[in-house]
């Protein structure tokens, strides 16, 4: 993740990185926040895992 963010900064062509993470995946959410991502929105029932739907959290990082 650090390599990817460094590469994005070095290109000087990437201004924003977006990602989606499953609501309840707290380890991933904490990692992304630590890297500077903020929550931008949510998609209800954005992931289907097995037979259960989960919300998707949309996160962004401005470079």
Q: The domain that contains 37 carries what CATH number? A: 3.40.630.30
Give residue-wise pLDDT tens across range 13-59: 999 999 999 999 999 999 999 999 999 999 999 999 999 999 999 99
What pLDDT band is residue 8 in, cutting at 50, 70 and 90?
A: very high
Question: How high is the pLDDT of residue 12?
Answer: 92
C-alpha closest to that of 25 among 53, 60, 55: 55
Judged by phi (left if over 0) then psi (alpha if -120 to 50, else beta), residue 47 lies in beta
Contact (CB, 8 A) for 49 and 19 = no
Question: How high is the pLDDT of residue 5?
Answer: 93
pTM of the complete model: 0.89
Number of domains in the chain: 1
**Can you give the residue range of the structural domain that contains 21?**
2-62
Question: How high is the pLDDT of residue 15?
Answer: 95
Cα separation, 9 vs 63, whole angstroms: 6
Cα separation, 38 vs 29, whole angstroms: 9
Place of tokens 């097995």: 50
């Amino acid at each position: 993740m650090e390599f990817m963010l460094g590469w994005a900064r070095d290109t000087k062509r990437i201004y924003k990185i977006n990602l989606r993470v499953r609501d309840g995946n707290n380890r991933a959410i904490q990692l992304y926040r630590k890297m500077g991502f903020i929550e931008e929105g949510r998609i209800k029932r954005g992931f289907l895992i097995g037979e259960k739907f989960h919300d998707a959290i949309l996160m962004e990082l401005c470079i």
